[in-house]
Amino acid sequence: MRRLIARGVLHLVECNCRAQHVVRLRLPLEVRGICVAKIAAHWPAAAPRVVIKIEEADFLEKQVLRKAIHERERGRCFYCSRRITQHRRCLDHVVPRAELGQNSYQNLVSCCLDCNSQKGERSAEEHVRWLYRDRRLSEAELSARLRALDDLAAGKLTPQIGTSSQGAK
Protein backbone atom coordinates (compact mmCIF):
# COMPACT_ATOMS: atom_id res chain seq x y z
CA MET A 1 0.00 0.00 0.00
CA ARG A 2 2.88 2.40 0.77
CA ARG A 3 4.26 1.85 -2.72
CA LEU A 4 0.91 2.69 -4.33
CA ILE A 5 0.63 5.84 -2.20
CA ALA A 6 4.19 6.84 -3.14
CA ARG A 7 3.44 6.38 -6.85
CA GLY A 8 0.27 8.46 -6.55
CA VAL A 9 -2.18 5.64 -7.34
CA LEU A 10 -3.76 5.77 -3.87
CA HIS A 11 -4.45 8.86 -1.79
CA LEU A 12 -4.45 8.37 1.99
CA VAL A 13 -7.58 10.12 3.24
CA GLU A 14 -7.66 9.10 6.89
CA CYS A 15 -5.39 7.09 9.17
CA ASN A 16 -5.98 6.24 12.81
CA CYS A 17 -4.19 4.36 15.56
CA ARG A 18 -6.26 1.16 15.14
CA ALA A 19 -4.61 0.52 11.76
CA GLN A 20 -7.77 1.46 9.91
CA HIS A 21 -7.10 3.47 6.80
CA VAL A 22 -9.37 5.22 4.35
CA VAL A 23 -7.88 5.56 0.88
CA ARG A 24 -9.11 6.95 -2.42
CA LEU A 25 -8.14 5.14 -5.59
CA ARG A 26 -7.17 7.63 -8.26
CA LEU A 27 -8.22 7.20 -11.85
CA PRO A 28 -5.47 6.62 -14.43
CA LEU A 29 -5.84 10.18 -15.74
CA GLU A 30 -5.27 11.54 -12.20
CA VAL A 31 -1.92 9.75 -11.70
CA ARG A 32 1.19 11.71 -12.68
CA GLY A 33 3.44 10.05 -15.23
CA ILE A 34 0.72 8.15 -17.06
CA CYS A 35 0.52 9.00 -20.74
CA VAL A 36 -3.01 9.93 -21.79
CA ALA A 37 -2.33 8.82 -25.37
CA LYS A 38 -1.51 5.27 -24.18
CA ILE A 39 -4.71 5.12 -22.16
CA ALA A 40 -6.77 6.30 -25.15
CA ALA A 41 -5.07 3.65 -27.34
CA HIS A 42 -5.95 0.84 -24.91
CA TRP A 43 -9.38 2.14 -23.87
CA PRO A 44 -10.90 4.21 -26.67
CA ALA A 45 -14.17 4.53 -24.77
CA ALA A 46 -12.36 6.53 -22.06
CA ALA A 47 -11.30 9.29 -24.47
CA PRO A 48 -14.53 10.96 -25.73
CA ARG A 49 -16.43 13.48 -23.63
CA VAL A 50 -20.06 12.78 -22.83
CA VAL A 51 -22.70 15.48 -23.10
CA ILE A 52 -24.99 15.49 -20.09
CA LYS A 53 -28.51 16.85 -20.25
CA ILE A 54 -28.69 18.34 -16.78
CA GLU A 55 -32.48 18.07 -16.51
CA GLU A 56 -32.41 14.31 -17.20
CA ALA A 57 -29.19 13.39 -15.37
CA ASP A 58 -29.09 11.01 -12.39
CA PHE A 59 -26.84 12.95 -10.01
CA LEU A 60 -26.08 9.91 -7.85
CA GLU A 61 -24.78 7.92 -10.80
CA LYS A 62 -21.39 9.59 -11.39
CA GLN A 63 -18.81 11.08 -9.06
CA VAL A 64 -18.50 14.22 -11.21
CA LEU A 65 -22.21 14.92 -10.77
CA ARG A 66 -22.15 14.22 -7.01
CA LYS A 67 -19.16 16.56 -6.67
CA ALA A 68 -21.05 19.27 -8.56
CA ILE A 69 -23.84 19.15 -5.96
CA HIS A 70 -21.29 19.48 -3.12
CA GLU A 71 -19.59 22.41 -4.88
CA ARG A 72 -22.93 24.15 -5.39
CA GLU A 73 -23.32 24.39 -1.58
CA ARG A 74 -19.73 25.76 -1.26
CA GLY A 75 -18.65 23.53 1.62
CA ARG A 76 -21.65 24.25 3.83
CA CYS A 77 -24.57 22.12 4.97
CA PHE A 78 -27.69 23.08 2.99
CA TYR A 79 -29.87 22.78 6.12
CA CYS A 80 -27.88 24.18 9.07
CA SER A 81 -25.28 26.21 7.08
CA ARG A 82 -22.38 24.77 9.12
CA ARG A 83 -19.06 24.39 7.33
CA ILE A 84 -18.47 20.70 6.56
CA THR A 85 -15.34 18.84 5.56
CA GLN A 86 -15.15 16.58 2.56
CA HIS A 87 -15.24 13.51 4.82
CA ARG A 88 -18.26 14.60 6.90
CA ARG A 89 -20.58 15.54 4.05
CA CYS A 90 -23.20 13.51 2.24
CA LEU A 91 -25.99 13.98 -0.26
CA ASP A 92 -29.59 14.10 0.90
CA HIS A 93 -32.87 13.89 -0.98
CA VAL A 94 -35.03 16.95 -0.26
CA VAL A 95 -38.09 14.87 -1.13
CA PRO A 96 -37.25 11.47 0.41
CA ARG A 97 -36.88 8.42 -1.83
CA ALA A 98 -39.74 6.84 0.13
CA GLU A 99 -41.99 9.56 -1.30
CA LEU A 100 -40.64 8.95 -4.83
CA GLY A 101 -38.01 11.71 -4.73
CA GLN A 102 -35.73 11.67 -7.77
CA ASN A 103 -31.94 11.87 -8.07
CA SER A 104 -32.04 15.19 -9.92
CA TYR A 105 -30.10 18.32 -9.01
CA GLN A 106 -33.42 19.83 -7.89
CA ASN A 107 -33.86 17.15 -5.23
CA LEU A 108 -30.30 16.56 -3.97
CA VAL A 109 -28.40 18.77 -1.53
CA SER A 110 -25.05 18.55 0.23
CA CYS A 111 -25.46 18.32 3.98
CA CYS A 112 -23.66 17.29 7.16
CA LEU A 113 -24.07 13.78 8.52
CA ASP A 114 -25.92 15.14 11.58
CA CYS A 115 -28.63 16.85 9.54
CA ASN A 116 -28.96 13.85 7.23
CA SER A 117 -29.56 11.45 10.11
CA GLN A 118 -31.83 13.86 12.04
CA LYS A 119 -33.94 14.67 8.98
CA GLY A 120 -34.78 11.04 8.30
CA GLU A 121 -38.02 10.77 6.31
CA ARG A 122 -39.21 14.30 7.15
CA SER A 123 -39.55 16.91 4.46
CA ALA A 124 -36.74 19.43 4.12
CA GLU A 125 -39.03 22.27 5.20
CA GLU A 126 -40.01 20.40 8.37
CA HIS A 127 -36.36 19.75 9.16
CA VAL A 128 -35.34 23.40 8.67
CA ARG A 129 -38.19 24.55 10.90
CA TRP A 130 -37.11 21.97 13.51
CA LEU A 131 -33.56 23.39 13.40
CA TYR A 132 -35.05 26.85 14.05
CA ARG A 133 -37.13 25.59 16.99
CA ASP A 134 -34.00 23.85 18.35
CA ARG A 135 -32.25 27.28 18.15
CA ARG A 136 -29.66 26.07 15.66
CA LEU A 137 -30.85 28.62 13.08
CA SER A 138 -31.67 32.28 13.54
CA GLU A 139 -34.81 33.83 12.07
CA ALA A 140 -32.81 35.29 9.18
CA GLU A 141 -31.16 31.91 8.50
CA LEU A 142 -34.57 30.21 8.57
CA SER A 143 -35.88 32.65 5.95
CA ALA A 144 -32.76 32.13 3.82
CA ARG A 145 -33.06 28.33 4.01
CA LEU A 146 -36.77 28.40 3.09
CA ARG A 147 -36.01 30.70 0.13
CA ALA A 148 -33.21 28.34 -0.93
CA LEU A 149 -35.66 25.41 -0.83
CA ASP A 150 -38.03 27.34 -3.09
CA ASP A 151 -35.18 28.23 -5.47
CA LEU A 152 -34.07 24.59 -5.52
CA ALA A 153 -37.56 23.37 -6.40
CA ALA A 154 -37.83 26.02 -9.13
CA GLY A 155 -34.56 24.84 -10.69
CA LYS A 156 -32.69 28.09 -9.95
CA LEU A 157 -29.81 26.40 -8.08
CA THR A 158 -28.14 24.58 -10.95
CA PRO A 159 -24.74 22.99 -10.26
CA GLN A 160 -21.75 23.73 -12.49
CA ILE A 161 -20.39 20.54 -14.07
CA GLY A 162 -16.75 20.73 -15.08
CA THR A 163 -16.01 23.95 -16.95
CA SER A 164 -19.53 24.28 -18.33
CA SER A 165 -22.93 23.13 -17.13
CA GLN A 166 -23.45 20.83 -20.10
CA GLY A 167 -20.27 18.77 -20.47
CA ALA A 168 -18.63 16.23 -18.16
CA LYS A 169 -16.42 13.19 -18.31
Same domain, 40 and 58: no
**Does 89 fall in a domain?**
yes
Same domain, 80 and 30: no
Whole-angstrom distance, CA of residue 116 vs CA of residue 110? 9
Half-sphere exposure of 116 (CA within 13 A, CB side): 14
**Does 23 fall in a domain?**
yes
* Range(s) of the domain holding residue 138: 51-153
Per-residue model confidence (pLDDT) at position 169: 39
Same domain, 64 and 89: yes
Same domain, 68 and 146: yes
Mean pLDDT in runs of 10 for the chain (169 residues)?
Answer: 78 74 75 66 57 80 89 94 91 86 90 92 92 95 95 90 49
Name which of 82, 95, 162, 90 is nearest 123 in CA terms.
Answer: 95
pTM above 0.75, yes or no: no
CATH of the domain at 116: 1.10.30
* Domains of the chain: total: 2
Per-residue model confidence (pLDDT) at position 14: 77
Same domain, 67 and 107: yes
Same domain, 59 and 89: yes
